[in-house]
Structure 1
Amino acid sequence: MSRKLRVAIVGAGPAGVYAADILTKSEVPAPFEGASVDLIERDPTPFGLIRYGVAPDHPRIKEIVKALKRVMANKDIRFFGNVSFGDDLKLDDLRQFYDAVVFATGARRDRDLDLPGIDLDGSHGAADFVYWYDGHPDVERDWPFQPHQESVAVLGVGNVGLDVSRILAKTADELLVTEIPDNVYEGLKKNVAKDVHVFARRGPAQVKFTPMELRELSHSPTIDVIVHPEGFELDEGSLEAIRAAKSQKLVVDVLQNYLAKEPTGAPHRIHIHFCQNPVEILGEDGKVVGLRTEVTELDGTGNVRGTGEFQDWPVQAVYRAIGYYSDNLPGLPFDVTAGVVPNDGGRVIEIDGSALPGVYVTGWIKRGPVGLIGHTKSDAAQTISMLIDDAPGLAPAAQPDPESVDAYLESRGLEYTTWEGWEKLDAHELGLGEAHEHERERVKVVPREDMVRIARS
C-alpha cells in the first residue's frame, strides 16, 4: 500500500522552509505518493534568522516572512517548535517516524577569533549582540553598555558588521517604531557611543557588504558615514573583482561617494577604515581600552601583506563580526575547520567517505555561512533532488503515521508549539504593537515561557 514519503526537517528558518516547499511540490517516485514534512525547531517560533538575525530596522527583508507564511499554509507541512534536536529528540528517535531527515540548522554562534585580549570586558561577539537586540529568548535581557563607551570598534565588513554598526550608532528613539522588545529599547537608551569604527583588513573592493545595506547607513539623520582615505586602494586584483561583479562595483561606488562627502556634523559617526588588520585588543584593569591594528597593503591580487606599521585606536568596546559558526550536531560527523556537516551536494558523508543513509543537509550547515537568503532556494533544490533520487531505496520508517510524532512528544512531556500556536503568538505581538502609545507594527514577546504559554493557550 502506497503512502507519502515522511521527512523531518530540523530547523525552520528559510533553508528549512524552502526545502519543505520544494519537496512537497515535487513528484516523488514509487512506492510513495507525494511527501509530507514536519519542521522541527528549537525556538518556539519559525523563521530562524529572519526573526532573530535580521536587524529590526530592515522591514523590506522581513517581507520574506510573508512568502514563508504562504509555504507554511500547505497542509502537508507541519511545524513543531520548542523542540531541541539533541536534547528532546535524537537522530535514532527521528528515524522511527521518518524515512529521511534533513538538517537545516544554520549557523548561530560567532566564529572564534584568536586575538590577544579577546576575553576582556567590553569584547563582544556580533551574534550575541544581534540575538539581544532581536529579542531571542535564550540570551540575557540586559546588554552591558558602559557609560564611558563613546568609541567602539566593529571588526568585519559583511552585512552583519553594518547592522551592528548602525544599531550602535542610531538613537533608541529611532528604533522605537520597529518591533524591538521593551527591554531592548530601555537598554539602547544606555548606549552612549558617538563614534563607531569599522575595520577592514583589505581594500574597498574586497568588502562583503551589499549595496543596499551600505546605502542604508546614511538614512539616519543622526549619523554621518565617514570613509577614511588611508588604505582606500584599488590594485589589479581589486579592478578584476569590480569587473567580475556588478554588485561589487556598486559597493565601491557607494564607498567613493561617502569618501567625497563632507560630514554634516551629525551627533553620531560611523567610520570605515581600510587596510587595517586587528592584531590585539588592548586592556586595562580587565576592560577594553583600545584596539591595535597593523597597516596592510594590497599585493596586486586583492590580498594584503603586513607593513610592520601599527596603530592604536582608543576604543572602549570591540564587536567582532567575522562570521557565524554552526553547532556540532549529535550523531552527525562535523568538519571543525569549515564549521559544516561533511556532505556531497547535500548527502551527509561519514568520516570514511560513505553516505549516512537517509540523512541530508541544506543551508549554512551544508555550505557555511555565505550567500544571501535567495541562495538558499537553489541550495535546497539540490539537496531535495538528491533525497528524491534516493527515496525508493530509503529504509522505511517504523511508525510513519504523522500522529505518532504528536503522541511521542506528548509522552515525553514536551511543551511543543505548532503553526496554529505561532499564529496566536503572531496576533498577540501585533496586538501589543497596536496598543502601544507609539505607532509600532509589533512588540516581540521575549521570555520563552511566555511565548510557549501564548502559543499553547
Structure 2
Amino acid sequence: MTVFRAWYSLSRRSFSTASSSSSCPLHVCIVGSGPAGFYTADKLLKAHKGARVDIIDRLPTPFGLVRSGVAPDHSETKIVINQFSRVAQHERCSFFGNVMLGSALSLSELRELYHVVVLAYGAESERDLGIPGENLKGIHSSREFVWWYNGHPDCRNLNPDLKKTDTAVVLGQGNVALDIARILLRPKTELASTDIADHALSALEESSIRKVYLIGRRGPVQAAWTAKELREILGMKNLHIKINQADLLVTPVDEEEMKKSRIRKRTYELLSKAATAAATESSHPGPGPRELHLVFFRKPDQFLESDERTGHVSGVQLEKTILESDGTGRQIAVGTGQHEYLHCGMVVKSIGYKSVPVEGLPFDHQKGVVPNIRGRVLTHASREESQSEPGLYVCGWLKRGPTGIIGTNLQCAEETVGSISEDVVKGQIAIATGSKAGGEGLRQLLEARNVKIVPFKGWEKIDAEEKRLGSERNKPREKLVSWEDLLAVGTT
C-alpha cells in the first residue's frame, strides 16, 4: 500500500481538478451502506470536488454490519457510526434506504443514471457444509443467528429453540463464532443494558443452554479469532473453560507459523494459559455451571436426527482430523476416518459468509467474489480473457471475499477510489454536460415505481425513536425490528 499511498497523495490535486473542471459533476452511486460503502463515499467526496455521491441500501437503515453484525455487548466498535453519519450528512451525499438492486431497479438502469457505480453490498448469504442432515431444525447459520439477536428485520422471526437443550455447538473458530458463544453464555443481566433486540433478550433469559462447544477443523495455532476477542470470552466470570491438553501440542510447522504471526502466537499463549488454569479448577464448580468447550482437530461429518423430535437435530457426528501441508506452506485439515458423536439440540454454522450476484454482474462463483483488478470489475472471471467494465467497481467483501475487520475496508476503499480517480484522469470515465441524471434521475425512477425511499433524515427519525424506546428500559436503544415499523417511522 506504500506505493499506492504516495501515488494517491501526489495525484489528488489532478483528480479534484478533473472532477470539478467539467460543468457536469461526477455522479457516483454506491450500492451498500456498510463500512465499505461509507469509506468509499468519504474518499470520493474528498478526492473529487463537486462530485455527487448517492448511497443506496435495501434496508431502511444504514451502516450494514456495524448495526446488524457487531455484537450488542461491543458498543465501542459501533462508534464508527458517528463518522459514517458525518459522511451521509455531507452536502454532496445522499442516502436512499429501502432500495433493493435487482428488484427496485436493475444494475443496467443504475449504470445509465451514473458515471460510476460502486458495488459494496457485502455478503448476504452463507456457505453450506454439504453434509447429511444440514436441513434439520435447530441448525442455523451464523448470519441469521447474529441478525436475530441484533434485530435485523429479515430474521426477527427466526425463533431459535433455546429451552429444550442445555448444549449448543458452534461450528467455526473465528470472531463471529466467539460472539455467538459469548452471547449464549453471558449473564443476561449484562446483556439487558445493551442494544440487543428485545425478542432475543427474552429468549435468552429463558434459555437452558449451559454448554457451548466451539469446533474447529484445524488446531489452536490456526484458529481465526483475534487475541482481543479470545481474551474477552476466556475472562468471563463463572465460565468454565474446557480444552483438551493433547490439542495444545504443537509441531515444528506450528512453531514456524507462530514465529511469522504475533497474533497466532498470542492466541495460542492465551489458550495454553486458560487450559492450565482450568486444570487447577475445583472438580466441583457448583450447580448449573456454564461451560465453554474449545475443541480442535474435528470436522462435522453429518447431523443426526432426534428420535423424540422428528425433523430436529440431536447431535453432530465429528471426524477427527490431522494437519497436512498443501504444498504452499499452509496446513490443511485431513480426515482420519475416526469418528465421535457430540449430543446437542442446537447448532450454529459459523463457516463463512457468501456474496450473491445480481443480473448483469460478472461473478466468480468458485471464489464468491466479483472478478476485479484493484476494484475495477472485469468482464470475466479469468483475468487473461477480461477487460474492465467502464464505470463499474467493487469494494469490500464483494471485492476481496468475506475477510477482515471494519478497518480493513478503509484500505480497500482507498484502492478502489484510486482506480476510479485514475480512470477519470485518463478520460476512461466520460463526464459530459447533461450526460447522466444521477440522484435526481434515480429519485424520479423510484417514485414512478412507488418505491418508498427512506432518506437519511428518515433514518434519523428511526434513530431518535429507537433511543426514546431504549431510554424507557435503560438501554442505549430499543431497535425497531419489523419492516413495517421501520418504514412507518422512516417515511413519515
Corresponding residue number in structure 2 for 1:271: 293
> Does 2:416 match 1:383?
yes
Aligned-pair distance for 1:401? 5.4
Equivalent residue runs for 1:74-223 within 5 Å? 74-223=90-239
**CA deviation vs aligned residue, 1:248-272 (integer Å, no higher than 9, x gap):** 2111111112111135737211110
Aligned-pair distance for 1:16? 0.3
Tell me the secondary structure at the aligned position of residue 389 of structure 2.
Answer: strand
The match for 1:290 among 315, 333, 346 is: 315
Corresponding residue number in structure 2 for 1:239: 255
Equivalent residue runs for 1:295-444 within 5 Å? 295-299=320-324, 302-351=331-380, 352-391=385-424, 392-396=427-431, 398-400=435-437, 402-436=439-473, 439-444=474-479
Aligned-pair distance for 1:308? 2.6
1:237/1:302 Cα in 2 relative to 1: closer, same or farther (>3 Å)?
farther
Aligned-pair distance for 1:65? 1.4
Corresponding residue number in structure 1 for 2:491: 456
- Normalised TM-score (structure 2): 0.87
For 2:316 and 2:111, locate their aligned partners in 1 and report how far apart those are by CA, in whole Å: 50
Deviates more, 1:1-10 or 1:153-162: 1-10
Aligned residues: 450
Asked whether the 8 Å contact 2:363–2:369 carries over to 1, the reply is yes
Deviates more, 1:258-267 or 1:74-83: 258-267
For 2:42 and 2:137, locate their aligned partners in 1 and report how far apart those are by CA, in whole Å: 44
Deviates more, 1:93-102 or 1:392-401: 392-401
Residue identity in the other structure for 2:459: W
Asked whether the 8 Å contact 1:9–1:16 carries over to 2, the reply is yes
**CA deviation vs aligned residue, 1:293-329 (integer Å, no higher than 9, x gap):** 1222234763333333211111122111000001112
For 2:156 and 2:183, locate their aligned partners in 1 and report how far apart those are by CA, in whole Å: 18
Tell me the secondary structure at the aligned position of residue 316 of structure 2.
Answer: strand
Corresponding residue number in structure 1 for 2:89: 73
Aligned-pair distance for 1:155? 0.6
For 1:354 and 1:291, locate their aligned partners in 2 and report how far apart those are by CA, in whole Å: 46
Asked whether the 8 Å contact 1:152–1:196 carries over to 2, the reply is yes
Asked whether the 8 Å contact 2:379–2:386 carries over to 1, the reply is yes
For 2:86 and 2:272, locate their aligned partners in 1 and report how far apart those are by CA, in whole Å: 41
Corresponding residue number in structure 1 for 2:34: 13
Residue identity in the other structure for 1:223: L
1:230/1:287 Cα in 2 relative to 1: closer, same or farther (>3 Å)?
farther
Identity of aligned residues (%): 37
Aligned-pair distance for 1:406? 2.3
Aligned-pair distance for 1:97? 2.1
Residue identity in the other structure for 1:227: I
**CA deviation vs aligned residue, 1:16-56 (integer Å, no higher than 9, x gap):** 00000011111x4xxxx542210000010110000011111
**CA deviation vs aligned residue, 1:81-133 (integer Å, no higher than 9, x gap):** 01000000212221232101000010122211111111112111111101111
For 1:83 and 1:228, locate their aligned partners in 2 and report how far apart those are by CA, in whole Å: 49
CA-atom RMSD, angstroms?
Answer: 1.8
For 1:426 and 1:363, locate their aligned partners in 2 and report how far apart those are by CA, in whole Å: 25
For 2:162 and 2:65, locate their aligned partners in 1 and report how far apart those are by CA, in whole Å: 28
Tell me the secondary structure at the aligned position of residue 205 of structure 1.
Answer: coil
Aligned-pair distance for 1:219? 4.4
Aligned-pair distance for 1:456? 2.0
For 1:218 and 1:401, locate their aligned partners in 2 and report how far apart those are by CA, in whole Å: 51
Structure 1 runs of 4+ with >4 Å offset? none
For 2:257 and 2:75, locate their aligned partners in 1 and report how far apart those are by CA, in whole Å: 30
1:402/1:293 Cα in 2 relative to 1: closer, same or farther (>3 Å)?
closer
Tell me the secondary structure at the aligned position of residue 383 of structure 1.
Answer: helix
The match for 2:66 among 16, 34, 50 is: 50
For 2:201 and 2:491, locate their aligned partners in 1 and report how far apart those are by CA, in whole Å: 28
Residue identity in the other structure for 1:196: V
Aligned-pair distance for 1:222? 4.4
Asked whether the 8 Å contact 2:115–2:436 carries over to 1, the reply is no
Tell me the secondary structure at the aligned position of residue 25 of structure 1.
Answer: helix
Tell me the secondary structure at the aligned position of residue 95 of structure 2.
Answer: strand
> Gaps spanning 5+ residues in structure 1: where?
none
Tell me the secondary structure at the aligned position of residue 359 of structure 2.
Answer: coil
For 1:212 and 1:408, locate their aligned partners in 2 and report how far apart those are by CA, in whole Å: 47
1:217/1:383 Cα in 2 relative to 1: closer, same or farther (>3 Å)?
same
Corresponding residue number in structure 1 for 2:9: none
Asked whether the 8 Å contact 1:232–1:275 carries over to 2, the reply is no
Corresponding residue number in structure 2 for 1:2: 23
For 2:344 and 2:191, locate their aligned partners in 1 and report how far apart those are by CA, in whole Å: 24
Deviates more, 1:58-67 or 1:207-216: 58-67
For 1:230 and 1:115, locate their aligned partners in 2 and report how far apart those are by CA, in whole Å: 28
Deviates more, 1:305-314 or 1:125-134: 305-314
Residue identity in the other structure for 2:297: C
